[in-house]
Structure 1
Amino acid sequence: MSAQMPYPQHVRAVLTLGLPLVGGHLAQFAIGLTDTVMIGWYGAEELAALTLAHTAFITLFLLGAGVAWAVMPMVASYAAQDDQMRIRRATRMGLWLSLLFCLAAGPLLWFSDPLLRALGQAESVAANAQVYLRIALWGMAPALGVLVLKSYLAGLEHTRIVFWITCLAAVLNVAFNYVLIFGNLGMPELGIRGAAIASVLTHGVSLVGVVVYAKAKLPEHDLFARFWRADWEMFFEVFRLGWPIGLTNLSEIGLFAASALMMGWLGTVPLAAHGIAVQLATAAFMIHVGLSNAATVRAGNAFGRRDAAHLARGAWTVLAMSAVASLLTVALLLGLPEPLVGAFLDPADPDRAEIVASGVVLLAVAALFQLVDGAQVVALGLLRGVQDTRVPMLMAALAYWGVGMPAAWVCGFVFGWGGPGVWFGLVVGLSAAAVMLLLRFWRQIVPGLVGTVRAA
């Protein structure tokens, strides 16, 4: 029956599931953006430290997020089989693994000052970054806990609550920053410490929100009853699926971190333009991440039912929707580049004209990689939905670091194309990832599932 579902019905299903996830990712992006803007109003030195601290925190967070994201396809697959027991087991062990990861990551954040100075950072910036991270590390566990429970809820297609909780977190983060960074409403002025405390409070409130919702709306899973009891079989099952996702995340964020380093070699103006262009490209990328999550859930459902036709139709649908979103983004980036870049800059900044000119060129290159960037992240979502993560991890690492990074260096420095050359290298790497991942899905996964169904 599902094999005959018409494409318009697939589109409605993806929109119903995906739009709240897209909105949630955009709200999450807004949290980081408002942190940057508000601490930037406070002071330039604090902004430099926050940028460095955020990079360290998010790198570890995305590594740990692998097990949280592994929960989503597992829950979707078990839900399709109506296996309530395994839904609970997978979610609980995802929470266990997240807590264990926090214990391992904590010392790296606590003793970050010497590590950052060893990486060539200025003493004062590294010291301030450690001040932030020693407070922010207490938010790592609730942040990963929220991500596990969001994956659990998304796998069960409870995506609207994910959106509303993330929006609430974004609003609260602004309020906490306003009070704690600047010392408003009778609170002491805490500067970068206030930003860190605001982050911890935001993650804590978000965790309370998702826990209350899960207990109230899904009591049949009773996630926290006898939470201390180990379930080693499921523990290692979640771990086996999750660690490649974490390393894939690390590989991709490392590519963009390395590109920022290269842009820094070119000077402060190219680096500033790069920072603005990355923010704009990331905002667009959040749309594709939301669609990728929807692809994971729907692919997980089809995989749980061993429904190859539904999997293929759903995949074509979400890829087409990602392509439409990419074309709209391209029109925006090419049609309004100067206002978009200029919105990030003080009109009185003496370097404004030069940064805008550089940023406009980078946005033109960013328009090139919209289609392939969306395609590769949706392909990853589809592959995760069918619980295929190890080979995609290797493919992504090869594309990002074996193709993209050398191409960025050659185009930027050997060919002398500068910043646009570095970004063109990113286009090459993301294109390689899209091609390899899509070929794996269409030539191996879908035919393999068809063969399994026929054999049964």
Structure 2
Amino acid sequence: MTENRYSYSKILKLGFPILIGQLGNIMVGFADTNMVGQYSTEALASASFVNNLFNVSIFACVGFTYGLTPLIGALFSQKRDKDIGSLLRTGLWVNGLFALLITAIMGAVYVNIEKFDLPDELLPIIRPYFLIYLAGVLPIAFFNVLAQWAYAIQRTVMPMVIILIANCVNIAGNWLLIRGNMGCPELGLTGAGLASLAARWLCVLMIGGVFLSRNIFAGYRQGFFHAPRRKGDVKLLNVTSWPVAMQMAFESGSFTAAAIMAGWLGKIPLAAFQVIVIVGTLGFCIYYSMAAAVSVLVSNAAGKGDRRLMRSVAGKGYVIMLILATCSSLLFIFAGSDVIRFFSHDSEVISVAVSLIVPLVLYQYGDATQINYANALRGTANVMPMLWIAFVSYVVVGVPATYLLAFPAGLGIYGIILSFSISLFLAAGLFLWFFMRSTRS
């Protein structure tokens, strides 16, 4: 296996289908926010609160599935299909249990939702949407386990197609149920939640159907249904999954804390925060798509014990990431105000959101760097440092910085977005340092 096999084109070939799938998810997020925002500012603010509150659990749930990538990627480089199938089976039930744990925790949050000191007019909108979102945690876990398997065996096109089909169903459901088109009931934000829930279960059914029906996956199916459970797989999955889950939970938790603080400023800043976060996910999802490819290729190299190749893959991925961060920044600078107007016609929300473009642009390079090297580190399976890096960067430093800039410094919503640069650049430096340390010859 030579270094040239992992050229820029290899990373792009693997990452591009993931990118298309991520862009599809962004478009659904844009459509959701646009349709809900056009319906009412109260619905948009309610969606902002619930989405950001659930970000912690969803990112933790998705992050837990990421523990599969280095394990399957290493087995794939050794052509051990049956072992991959056995590991996938174990991954599904371990992640299913984790998703049920997350569901129980968020159910407890729902019972105490009134303690978040939200405006009274938002609670009747938030409650049903929260419950529907809660029902979607399990399918998110199942789909992402199977998606990580597909990514790790370098079959990235298949999840992309499934995601795009489900996205079309989601948008169509939004159109039918938010305003009650074609004789459907007008359900507002609740309708958007039902459409998303249906799309999530559709993803599970489609990717499961492909796994069960395609001859090319016969070796994996044999291991999935007939191979005995490999000794130590449950422990190994927990060792690689928990740190990544907690890393993503801490990161998303800092954004959730920011959303709560934005809610303290009122419904207009909260709605503007939702808009700017959705716009910012454009950069995040683009960076993640290429970083996911980097993680897969690093894990393949790790399976061969080639540390020099692991560094080469991460370095080339970072060059791609810097180019993407530059493109995202230019898009936000020159077209950000137009994109923001896509989500809301409320002049106050637009005015506040436009003022947040500068701090949004400031953290793009930090975000790109931390995503690239966090995923590269994940590919090595040396994931324990990710836990404390995230805790220090996002909890110990990030959340206090958000509060201090927003309130004592008097910067309000501008300070909240500005604080993201502090935590993201700190995390970026630490992930880079630990990856280089882990791959030292």
TM-score after normalising by structure 1: 0.88
Once the two structures are superposed, the pairs formed by residues 19-418 of structure 1 within 5 Å of their partners are 19-110=16-107, 112-122=109-119, 125-215=122-212, 216=214, 217-222=216-221, 226=225, 233-346=232-345, 349-351=346-348, 355-356=350-351, 358-418=352-412
C-alpha spacing 1:182/1:418, structure 2 compared with 1 (3 Å)? closer
- Provide the C-alpha distance between the structure 2 equivalents of 1:173 and 1:397, rounded to a whole number of angstroms: 34
Measured in 2, the distance between the counterparts of 1:212 and 1:38 equals 32
Q: Does 1:445 align with 2:438?
A: yes
- Which structure 2 segments of 5+ residues have no match? none
**C-alpha contact (below 8 Å) 1:288/1:322 kept by paired residues:** yes
What SS class does the counterpart of residue 136 from structure 2 fall into? helix
Structure 1 distance, partners of 2:426, 2:329, is 20
Cα distance in 2, alignment partners of residues 195 and 229 from structure 1 = 42
Using the aligned pairs only, state the percent identity.
25
Mapped to 1, the partners of 2:251 and 2:106 lie a distance apart of 21
1:328 positional shift? 1.5
Measured after TM superposition, the shift of residue 265 of structure 1 is 4.1
In structure 1, what is the Cα distance between the partners aligned to 2:303 and 2:17? Answer: 23
State the partner residue of 1:453: none
Offset of residue 274 of structure 1? 2.9
- Give 1:426 deviation, angstroms: 1.5
What RMSD in Å do the two structures reach over aligned CA positions? 2.6
- Give yes or no for contact 2:82–2:223 (8 Å, CA) kept in 1: no
Cα pair distance change 1:93/1:29, threshold 3 Å: farther
Structure 1 stretch displaced more, 317-326 or 91-100: 91-100
Structure-2 residue corresponding to 1:2: 2
CA distance in 1, matches of 2:421, 2:198: 38
Per the TM alignment, residue 278 of structure 1 is displaced from its structure 2 partner at its CA by: 1.8
Please state how far the C-alpha of 1:167 moved relative to its aligned partner. 0.9
Question: Is the contact between residue 177 and residue 192 of structure 2 (CA under 8 Å) also seen in structure 1?
Answer: yes
Count of aligned residue pairs for this structure pair:
439
- More displaced, 393-402 or 58-67? 58-67
Amino acid at match of 1:218: F
Q: Name the CA shift for 1:364/1:195 in 2 (closer, same or farther; >3 Å).
A: closer
CA distance in 2, matches of 1:421, 1:396: 21
Deviation at 1:169, TM superposition (A): 1.0
Q: What do residues 303-342 of structure 1 show as CA deviations (whole Å, max 9, x unaligned)?
A: 0011122111111100010001111222222233433333
Correspondences of 1:416-431 after superposition (within 5 Å):
416-431=410-425
**1:58 alignment partner, SS class:** helix
Change (3 A) 1:107 1:2: same
Change (3 A) 1:144 1:227: farther
After superposition, the Cα gap between the structure-2 partners of 1:280 and 1:39, relative to the gap in structure 1 and judged at 3 Å, is closer
> Is the CA contact (8 Å cut-off) linking 1:109 and 1:130 kept in structure 2?
no
Q: Distance in 2 between matches of 1:267 and 1:132?
A: 20
Once the 2 structures are TM-superposed, how far is the Cα of residue 374 of structure 1 from its aligned partner? 0.3
* 1:227 Cα deviation after fit: 8.6
Q: d(CA) in 1 for partners of 2:197 and 2:271?
A: 28
Q: How many Å separate the matches in 1 of 2:13 and 2:252?
A: 29
Q: How far, CA to CA, are the matches of 1:197 and 1:441 in structure 2?
A: 41
Letter in 2 for 1:407: A
Q: Out of 41-50 and 29-38, give the one that drifted further.
A: 41-50
Q: C-alpha offsets along residues 368-425 of structure 1, whole Å, 9 cap, x if unaligned?
A: 2111110001111000000122111101210112222333333343444443333332
Segments of structure 1 that go 5 or more residues without pairing to the other structure are 451-456
- Distance of 2:405 and 2:279 partners within structure 1: 22
